[in-house]
């Protein structure tokens, strides 16, 4: 009876465990997903007669706040992983919960922003600028939401997992972190492209 | 990784965090200068690229990652570039 | 390799649900994929058989009144197919055959079942994700089937779903998009699993250049699925936004439909959809063909009892092919007015990508040189693949050149071309694979006699279906015409449609031999002489039959390349990869 190897320990040649390689492959596909949407943005903008400056239509201060929230959540995420690496489960729990909280705060700010747009009768159907704005931020928001759900699940099972197999637990947080940083990375590009240019 | 290495890492994370926050302020401040569009695009994308590289290099540890992951990402970036830049040469001759 | 975790000694026998339905075992999932995909292949074939009546006898009542009344007045009025229904059938035939039939069979079924065995792995790297991949595929299939029953019927804008037509189509198009999201999710999960498994889980000693060619083909295929599908997902999201939230990503300003100006903001670009769609759909062609090439390579090596001629060129070609397939997509768009700069670039890359295909085909043909070939049923299918794929590939060249494409674009020539690649090409190879690996899955052989009847009838009639298409296409008959006799030039080649339709129906009859053989042989077939009835060298034959959960009794170790046949000075004419010395 054979077991699946390298689920926790890294492969001697590639140097990574299966999960980490898997999450990177997933992120590669995510690059292509958002890449295609950025490509759509470029093609639409190049083909348009006029295109508004985002700062004239969108709320830059709110978006700046959201940028700060996501950046902070990224650093708490990596700190939670580092805490597990030094066997400090309490600190991990604090940082990891902060990450979830900051993610939620991001979504709350985002919903206020959407609400204000709807109040002023700005919808995806208004024009191509709002169409791409709502689509890109909406899809990104779904990614944040997905991350929050998975992270909440991981936090709820963290204690028993930590007691059973701490290395496996640390790996899971590393993978969750890679995804979360990627979502942050997408926002880092979305923010100037939509709001500032 | 040893405990000392982790401690060193944590100091780097804090520094990266500070840099990201500072660059966010910088890019927003520049946007209030209302530069002509080509310059604004160049500056904003430059700052975003720096920020993105910091996140990828340090938070996602790409600065010291394994060859197998570099390989996957290299191909991804080539195809991403193809997808981003080639359609731009679509001209709109004729009408649809 | 066999690190035992004290906590994982929970291997009680799984119950019925876990064993057959929600299994995480790659072999069960592979069989699930195979059964579902074969069902969809038959279903997609049935759709086109209806169309073949309308094409052969346009405007004549359907000869099976029972079926006509079953389909209802919304689809057939007094036995005559309505144009709207015709469009549904065409669009869904393409969608189902590609996304629900051939790819799931070639990748989901063969890849899942055979690849982990060939690399000596106990299972896929992520068994639960593997299960999720199958169920996402299944749900996508249900959504696609369900779309036939929504008001206005299924998607009817072609399998390419070009806007603006698709934007203003009936509800079925929304179902199509949602179904595609499930299918894309499925292939995404599958491809991550395939790549991770091949990179991480190869047996000891199995270096990359000892991998069977089939594994290489699956490896490249997985990368194509991983990186080319997300842009279609993005395009699907944009089209959903257009249809559900009234955006205008694909709708230009000032669009008039049926004499009325469309009430949308405009400013969109229909070519955006074509770029994103073909960014997937061209690599998708290679997703359809590479696993078939892999299967054929395995069977040719085994039945010529010789190493493949040029294993390394084959591998480099398949890698180069995979890479290039990402930058040829706009050769589907020569006549869109995208500009001569684009056309020139994509025409050049298209000519370049034909080189590795020719290298692969040539290597496989030269492999036959000087061999004393065993004409087993799988070998017959594999041999037939070579000229069929050759015709498919070579007829693609005039389509890849912008100037000749102006005449041929959107005619039956195109249909003939890509069907030669996918139907007489890939499908024959997939049949070869079924006959070849059947004894590993069931421990029994499929009937040689029924197999040969199936082969010869299929080969004759499948050519009867597709060969006349080239003549029709060169005569100028458009691919989407409801009534091919609308134009005078179509009337000249109309008799060919009758030949093609009878061939298609007889091709269906030929498949009865296959289905009987398949079902009969599972229980009553002749028992396989050993775990390795074909005297093959690769690792899947080193397992018990059928392979148990975990596949290998002891972790295998590999000492040789994949095709050590007829090694001089040995008693047997094959040297299995796991046999030391």
Any residues with CB less than 8 A from the CB of C56 and at least 6 apart, and which?
Answer: C497, C498, C500, C501, C502
Residue of B nearest to C254 (CA): B96
Residue-wise pLDDT for C305-347, tens only, equals: 999 999 999 999 999 999 999 999 999 999 988 888 899 999 9
Closest CA to A44 of A124, A133, A128: A128
Q: Kindly state the tokens that stand for B96.
A: 């649809």
Q: What is the mean pLDDT of chain C?
A: 94
Residue of C nearest to A42 (CA): C272
What is the 8-class DSSP label of residue A195? I
Identify which of C323, C336, C342 has the shortest CB distance to residue B89: C342
Q: What is the pLDDT of residue C3?
A: 44
Q: Work out the number of other CB atoms within 10 angstroms of the CB of residue A149.
A: 12
In the predicted structure, residue A21 carries a pLDDT above the cut 70: yes
Q: Which residues pair with C172 in a beta bridge?
A: C154
Q: What is the pLDDT of residue C320?
A: 97
Site from A125, A130, A150 to mutate, C interface, most C CB atoms within 10 angstroms: A125
Q: Name the minimum distance, in Å, from the CA of A91 to any CA of chain B.
A: 13
Q: Work out the number of other CB atoms within 10 angstroms of the CB of residue C515.
A: 13
What is the 8-class DSSP label of residue C261? E
Identify which of A30, A40, A128 has the shortest CB distance to residue C265: A128
H or E segment and range at residue C76: strand C76-77
Identify which of C223, C327, C339 has the shortest CB distance to residue B90: C339
Query: Strand pairing of C256-257 and C76-77?
Result: unpaired
Confidence of residue C4 (pLDDT cuts 50, 70, 90): very low
In the predicted structure, residue C6 carries a pLDDT above the cut 90: no
Helix, strand counts (H, E) of chain C: 20, 4
Q: Kindly state the tokens that stand for C321.
A: 């092919």
| Cα–Cα dist B53/B49, whole Å | 6
In the predicted structure, residue C429 carries a pLDDT above the cut 70: yes
Q: Name the minimum distance, in Å, from the CA of A84 to any CA of chain B.
A: 10
Confidence of residue C581 (pLDDT cuts 50, 70, 90): confident
Q: Across the interface, do B44 and A185 touch by the CB < 8 Å criterion?
A: no
Q: What is the pLDDT of residue A1?
A: 62
What is the 8-class DSSP label of residue C530? S
Closest CA to C349 of C282, C406, C394, C266: C282
Q: What is the pLDDT of residue C12?
A: 56
Q: Does C272 reach chain B within 8 Å, measured CB to CB?
A: yes
Q: Does C6 reach chain B within 8 Å, measured CB to CB?
A: no
Q: What is the pLDDT of residue C490?
A: 93
Q: What is the pLDDT of residue C13?
A: 66
In the predicted structure, residue B95 carries a pLDDT above the cut 70: no
Task: Out of A143-152, C11-20, C133-142, C522-531, pick the least confident.
Answer: C11-20
Peptide bond into C164 cis (omega under 30): yes
| Cα–Cα dist C454/C389, whole Å | 19
> Which class is domain C22-250+267-542?
mainly alpha
Q: What is the pLDDT of residue C16?
A: 79
Residue-wise pLDDT for C173-213, tens only, equals: 999 999 999 999 999 999 999 999 999 999 999 999 999 99
In the predicted structure, residue A46 carries a pLDDT above the cut 90: no
Q: Where are the domains of chain B?
A: 3-64
| Cα–Cα dist A36/C228, whole Å | 10
Three-state DSSP at C260 gives strand
What is the 8-class DSSP label of residue C483? S
Q: What is the pLDDT of residue C264?
A: 86
- Judge whether C277 and C158 are in contact, CB under 8 Å: no
Confidence of residue C162 (pLDDT cuts 50, 70, 90): very high
Residue-wise pLDDT for B15-67, tens only, equals: 999 999 999 999 999 999 999 999 999 999 999 999 999 999 999 999 999 99
| Cα–Cα dist C318/C397, whole Å | 19
Q: Does A48 reach chain B within 8 Å, measured CB to CB?
A: no
Q: Across the interface, do A21 and C199 touch by the CB < 8 Å criterion?
A: yes
Residue-wise pLDDT for A114-164, tens only, equals: 999 999 999 999 999 999 999 999 999 999 999 999 999 999 999 999 999
Residues of C in Cβ contact (< 8 Å) with B75: 223, 227, 323
According to the 3-state scheme, what is the secondary structure of chain B? CCHHHHHHHHHHHHHHHHHHHHHHHHHHHHHCCCCCHHHHHHHHHHHHHHHHHHHHHHHCCHHHCCHHHHHHHHHHHHHHHHHHHHHHHCCCCCCC
Q: What is the pLDDT of residue B92?
A: 57
Q: Which residues pair with C261 in a beta bridge?
A: C256
- Judge whether C307 and C374 are in contact, CB under 8 Å: no
Mean pLDDT along residues A65-77: 97
Q: Across the interface, do B96 and C323 touch by the CB < 8 Å criterion?
A: no
Q: Which of residues 338-397 of C touch A (CB under 8 A)?
A: none
Q: Work out the number of other CB atoms within 10 angstroms of the CB of residue C396.
A: 20
ipTM: 0.96
> Domains in chain A, ordered, with CATH?
18-196 (1.20.120.80)
In the predicted structure, residue C465 carries a pLDDT above the cut 90: yes
Q: What is the pLDDT of residue C359?
A: 97
């Amino acid at each position: 009876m054979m077991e699946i190897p390298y689920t926790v320990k890294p492969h001697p040649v590639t140097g990574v465990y299966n999960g980490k390689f898997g999450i990177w492959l997933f992120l590669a596909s995510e690059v292509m997903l958002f890449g295609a949407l950025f490509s759509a943005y470029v093609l639409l903008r190049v083909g348009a007669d006029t295109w508004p400056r985002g700062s004239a239509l969108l709320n830059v201060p709110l978006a700046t706040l959201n940028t700060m929230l996501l950046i902070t959540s990224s650093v708490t995420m990596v700190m939670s992983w580092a805490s597990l690496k030094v066997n400090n489960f309490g600190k991990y729990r604090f940082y990891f919960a902060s990450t979830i909280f900051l993610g939620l705060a991001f979504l709350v700010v985002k919903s206020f922003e959407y609400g204000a747009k709807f109040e002023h009768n700005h919808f995806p159907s208004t024009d191509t600028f709002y169409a791409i704005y709502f689509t890109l931020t909406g899809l990104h928001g779904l990614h944040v939401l997905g991350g929050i759900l998975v992270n909440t699940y991981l936090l709820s099972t963290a204690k028993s997992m930590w007691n059973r197999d701490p290395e496996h637990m640390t790996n899971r947080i590393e993978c969750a972190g890679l995804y979360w940083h990627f979502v942050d990375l997408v926002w880092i590009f979305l923010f100037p492209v939509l709001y500032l240019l | 990784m040893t405990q000392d290495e982790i401690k060193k890492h944590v100091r780097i994370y804090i520094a990266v965090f500070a840099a990201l926050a500072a660059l966010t302020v910088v890019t927003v401040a520049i946007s209030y200068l209302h530069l002509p569009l080509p310059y604004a695009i160049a500056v904003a994308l430059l700052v975003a690229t720096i920020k993105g590289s910091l996140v990828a290099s340090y938070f996602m540890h790409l600065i010291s990652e394994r060859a197998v992951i570099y390989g996957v990402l290299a191909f991804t970036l080539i195809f991403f570039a193809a997808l981003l830049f080639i359609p731009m040469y679509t001209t709109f001759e004729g009408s649809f | 390799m066999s690190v035992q975790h004290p906590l994982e000694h929970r291997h009680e026998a799984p119950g019925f649900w876990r064993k057959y339905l929600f299994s995480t075992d790659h072999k069960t999932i592979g069989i699930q994929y195979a059964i579902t995909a074969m069902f969809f292949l038959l279903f997609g074939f049935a759709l086109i058989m209806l169309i073949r009546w309308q094409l052969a006898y346009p405007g004549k009542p359907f000869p099976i009144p029972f079926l006509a009344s079953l389909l209802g007045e919304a689809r057939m009025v007094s036995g005559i197919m309505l144009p709207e229904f015709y469009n549904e059938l065409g669009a869904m035939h393409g969608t189902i055959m590609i996304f629900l039939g051939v790819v799931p069979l070639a990748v989901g079924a063969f890849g899942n079942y055979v690849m982990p065995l060939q690399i000596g792995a106990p299972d896929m790297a992520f068994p639960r994700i593997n299960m999720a991949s199958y169920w996402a595929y299944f749900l996508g299939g249900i959504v696609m089937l369900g779309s036939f029953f929504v008001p206005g019927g299924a998607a009817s804008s072609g399998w390419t779903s070009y806007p603006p037509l698709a934007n203003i189509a009936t509800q079925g198009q929304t179902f199509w998009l949602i179904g595609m999201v499930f299918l894309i999710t499925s292939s995404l999960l599958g491809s991550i699993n395939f790549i991770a498994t091949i990179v991480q889980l190869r047996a000891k000693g199995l270096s990359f250049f000892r991998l069977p060619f089939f594994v290489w083909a699956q490896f490249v295929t997985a990368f194509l699925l991983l990186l080319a599908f997300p842009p279609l997902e993005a395009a699907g999201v944009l089209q959903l936004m257009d249809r559900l939230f009234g955006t205008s990503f694909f709708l230009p300003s000032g669009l008039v439909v049926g004499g009325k100006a469309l009430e949308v903001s405009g400013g969109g670009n229909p070519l955006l959809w074509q770029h994103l769609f073909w960014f997937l759909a061209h690599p998708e062609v290679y997703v359809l063909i590479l696993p078939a090439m892999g299967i054929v390579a395995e069977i040719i090596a085994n039945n010529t009892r010789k190493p493949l001629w040029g294993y390394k060129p084959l591998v480099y070609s398949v890698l180069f092919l995979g890479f290039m397939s990402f930058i040829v997509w706009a050769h589907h768009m020569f006549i869109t007015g995208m500009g001569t700069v684009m056309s020139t670039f994509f025409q050049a890359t298209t000519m370049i990508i034909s080189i590795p295909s020719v290298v692969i085909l040539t290597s496989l043909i030269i492999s036959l040189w000087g061999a004393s070939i065993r004409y087993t049923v799988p070998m017959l299918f594999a041999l037939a693949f070579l000229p069929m794929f050759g015709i498919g590939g070579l007829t693609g060249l005039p389509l890849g050149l912008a100037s000749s494409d102006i005449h041929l674009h959107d005619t039956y020539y195109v249909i003939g071309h890509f069907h030669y690649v996918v139907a007489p090409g890939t499908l024959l190879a997939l049949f070869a694979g079924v006959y070849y690996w059947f004894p590993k899955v069931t421990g029994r052989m499929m009937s040689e006699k029924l197999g040969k009847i199936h082969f010869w009838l299929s080969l004759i009639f499948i050519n009867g279906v597709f060969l006349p298409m080239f003549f029709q296409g060169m005569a100028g008959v458009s691919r989407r015409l409801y009534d091919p006799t609308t134009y005078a030039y179509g009337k000249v080649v109309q008799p060919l449609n009758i030949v093609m339709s009878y061939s298609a129906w007889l091709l269906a009859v030929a498949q009865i031999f296959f289905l009987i053989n398949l079902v009969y042989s599972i229980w009553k077939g002749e028992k396989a002489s050993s775990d390795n009835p074909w005297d093959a060298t690769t690792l899947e034959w080193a397992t018990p039959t059928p392979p148990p959960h975990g596949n290998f009794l002891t972790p295998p170790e590999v000492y040789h390349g994949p095709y050590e046949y007829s090694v001089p000075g040995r008693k047997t004419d094959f040297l299995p990869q796991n046999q030391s010395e």
